[in-house]
Each structure stands twice: as structure tokens, then as C-alpha cells.
């Protein structure tokens, strides 16, 4: 299957509260194992076209409020083809921030009728015996 709409690549942005595991997710994907030491932010990762099911290069971008300002977040939101809002299932505050901050902020940047898919990613499920979403 060829690229949709003539797209040459896909850009996925991971955002969410500090400490929810965005960087760990990215580093685990790249190295296929959980990293022992995690930096505040991963460098942008490019997955080559030949290893993706759609045969399209995929860029994965990690946002860190510690290292980047809101201006760079706004730029990344506008460049993204998919936005993943990551939260920690063991931290109710990170879940609450999805609706109180992240989704309204994204909506404000892209407009009400935007077509950018937003994926909610529940992380750290291995750290709890039950999910706080139950």
C-alpha cells in the first residue's frame, strides 16, 4: 500500500505530563528493551520505510516540558500527523490533565475541526495491580 495523500513520511508526537514514561516508550521501541537510565527527552527517532508496515518513514518526536518551551510544543503539534497523549495509569493527576489541559491545548492549536488523530496511551500498567481507569 502506497503512502496516503502522497505523504512521504509520518510524524508522531508524544506528549503528556513529566514522568509518565514518554521517553521510556520511545527508547524501549528503539532498543527492544526497557532502558535502565532515561534522559529527560529522547532525540527525534526516524524509523526507516522498509521496517514499517506502510513502507513510509516514521519520525517519533518526544516532547519534554523540562527541556522545551511552549513555543516548540506548538510548532511540533502543527507538524504532527498523529499525537499520542501519554499518561501513567498509576497517577490519577496525569489522567485528569488529559481533559483539563492536553486535549483543550491541542484543540486550541489545531482548531475544532482538525483531522489529526489523537491517541491516548496508558503507560506504567506494569507498576499497578489494578488500573485507575477501572
What rounded mean pLDDT belongs to the chain? 82
Length of the chain: 134
Every domain of the chain and the residues it spans: 13-124
**Contact (CB, 8 A) for 106 and 77:** yes
Mean pLDDT throughout 17-39?
Answer: 75
pTM (2 decimals)?
A: 0.80
Q: Give 109-128 pLDDT, tens digit per residue.
A: 999 889 999 999 998 776 66
Q: Which CATH number fits domain 13-124: 2.30.130.10, 1.20.1440.230, 3.40.50.880, 3.40.50.300?
A: 3.40.50.300
pLDDT tens digits, one per residue of 65-84: 766 678 888 999 999 999 99
Burial 8-35 (b: 16+ CB within 10 A, else e): eebbbbbbbbeebbbbbbbbeeeeeeee
SS3 call for 43: coil
Amino acid at each position: 500500500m502506497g503512502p496516503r495523500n502522497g505523504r512521504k513520511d509520518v510524524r508522531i508526537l508524544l506528549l503528556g505530563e513529566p514522568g509518565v514514561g514518554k521517553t521510556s516508550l520511545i527508547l524501549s521501541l528503539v532498543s527492544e528493551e526497557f532502558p535502565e537510565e532515561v534522559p529527560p527527552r529522547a532525540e527525534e527517532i526516524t524509523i526507516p520505510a522498509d521496517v514499517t508496515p506502510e513502507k513510509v518513514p516514521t519520525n517519533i518526536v518526544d516532547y519534554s516540558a523540562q527541556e522545551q518551551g511552549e513555543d516548540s510544543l506548538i510548532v511540533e503539534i502543527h507538524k504532527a500527523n498523529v499525537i499520542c497523549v501519554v499518561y501513567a495509569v498509576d497517577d490519577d493527576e496525569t489522567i485528569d490533565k488529559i481533559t483539563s489541559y492536553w486535549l483543550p491545548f491541542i484543540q486550541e492549536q489545531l482548531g475544532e475541526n482538525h483531522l489529526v488523530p489523537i491517541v491516548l496511551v496508558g503507560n506504567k500498567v506494569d507498576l499497578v495491580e489494578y488500573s485507575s481507569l477501572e
